[in-house]
């Protein structure tokens, strides 16, 4: 499938991974200035999984992202200023109007469904979206992201099994990033490869290098093709690593430094830059230009969010019912 990628697509992968990282870096600064409210979770080192997988979808498809999947939301068309406002608890179009936090925002038109915090609960919901798509003859695909930890929930099991049995076009992306908060994967589940779980549901499970954006894209394309062809659900396990603590408050002292060093070498963005240069798709100057363009854009977007108003107190009473 690599052959079919255009130069622009290769560059888009880079653009969105870089955008994800830079956006999160900007959020970190805002967090330190007490402008980001509540916790801040980063996807440092995992950008390729979110971006590569989302690129395999088309308009009309749906994702349900988790805290490490801001990149997938960007691909789906969320605007940085919407995310900035959302993280700063501000009001505005495309936010939850201060009612919910971080990536908990939804847009049925752009195709992202905000999760609730209760891990695993989005799997049945995304199965339902896939089911309706099938009933309505829409030929859409849904994709639900979750971590290795979230795959220990009952809701995960019920949702995946349900989608499998009903042959629903739902792809479950298990982002195996080594840890669930402080819990290493071996304390979460005894199989080394989470993709193996697919066997128990009678659906395909594929392992992919989660730090290789092209590999993630291709694996997801295969699952999407199957789903669109009516062959049902599948699981993709993206092997990656959480390069920062669970959230800003966690310095992840429990992660051995040697492990981090190994994964540092596998940085998805750094390695992809090399790939682009080696294949004459970019050079240092063009990459630098792109990076600067992104930073300038984010600066404007963050400014807009900074100037945006907080929601009106009384507005909290609205919207519980129709």
Ligand X SMILES: Cc1ncc(C[n+]2csc(CCOP(=O)(O)OP(=O)(O)O)c2C)c(N)n1
Q: Which position among 19, 40, 105, 150 is part of the footprint of ligand X (CB under 6 A)?
A: 150
Q: Respond yes or no: is residue 246 known to be catalytic.
A: yes
> Is there binding between residue 181 and ligand X (CB under 6 A)?
yes
Is residue 37 a contact residue for another protein (CB under 8 A)?
yes
* 46, 188, 220, 240: which one binds another protein (CB under 8 A): 188
- CB of 85 within 8 A of CB of 104? no
> Per the residue annotation, which of 18, 26, 97, 246 is the catalytic one?
246
**Among ligand X, another protein, none, what binds residue 68 when CB lies within 5 to 8 Å by partner kind?**
ligand X
For ligand X, what does the binding mask look like between residues 94 and 133, x meaning CB under 6 A? -----------------------xxx--------------
Nearer to ligand X, 116 or 296 (CB): 116
242, 249, 297, 307: the active-site residue: 242
The binder of another protein chosen from 51, 56, 75, 89 (CB under 8 A):
89
> Any contact of residue 237 with ligand X (CB under 6 A)?
no
Would residue 264 show up in a list of annotated catalytic residues for this protein?
A: no
Q: Determine the size of the site formed for another protein (CB under 8 A).
A: 41
Selected from 96, 177, 211, 273, the binder of ligand X by CB under 6 A is 177
Binding to another protein by residue 116, rule CB under 8 A? yes
The residue from 254, 264, 297, 321 that is catalytic is 254
Smallest gap from residue 97 Cβ to another protein (A): 8
- Is 242 annotated as catalytic? yes
Of residues 7, 58, 230, 254, which one binds another protein by CB under 8 A? 254
**Mind telling me the catalytic residues?**
242, 246, 254
């Amino acid at each position: 499938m690599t052959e079919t990628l255009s130069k622009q697509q290769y560059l888009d992968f880079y653009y969105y991974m870089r955008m994800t990282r830079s956006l999160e870096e900007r959020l970190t600064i805002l967090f330190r200035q007490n402008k980001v409210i509540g916790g801040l979770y980063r996807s440092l080192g995992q950008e390729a999984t979110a971006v590569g997988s989302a690129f395999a979808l088309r308009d009309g498809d749906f994702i349900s992202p988790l805290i490490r999947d801001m990149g997938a939301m960007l691909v789906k068309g969320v605007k940085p200023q919407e995310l900035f406002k959302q993280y700063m608890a501000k009001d505005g179009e495309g936010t939850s109007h201060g009612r919910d936090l971080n990536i908990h925002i939804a847009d049925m038109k752009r195709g992202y469904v905000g999760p609730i915090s209760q891990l695993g609960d989005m799997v049945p919901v995304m199965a339902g979206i896939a089911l309706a798509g099938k009933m309505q003859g829409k030929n859409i695909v849904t994709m639900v992201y979750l971590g290795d930890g979230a795959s220990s929930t009952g809701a995960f099991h019920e949702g995946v099994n349900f989608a499998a049995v009903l042959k629903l076009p739902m792809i479950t992306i298990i982002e195996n990033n080594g840890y669930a908060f402080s819990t290493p994967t071996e304390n979460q589940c005894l199989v080394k490869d989470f993709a193996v779980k697919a066997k128990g549901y009678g659906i395909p499970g594929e392992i992919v290098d989660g730090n290789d954006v092209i590999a993630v894209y291709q694996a997801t394309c295969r699952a999407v093709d199957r789903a669109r062809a009516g062959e049902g659900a599948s699981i993709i396990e993206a092997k990656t690593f959480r390069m920062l603590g669970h959230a800003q408050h966690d310095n992840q002292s429990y992660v051995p430094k040697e492990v981090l060093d190994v994964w540092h070498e596998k940085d998805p963005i750094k390695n992809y830059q090399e790939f682009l240069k080696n294949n004459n798709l970019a050079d240092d100057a063009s990459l630098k230009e792109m990076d600067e363009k992104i930073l300038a854009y984010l600066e404007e977007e963050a400014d807009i969010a900074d100037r945006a108003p907080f929601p009106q107190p009384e507005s909290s009473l609205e919207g519980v019912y129709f």
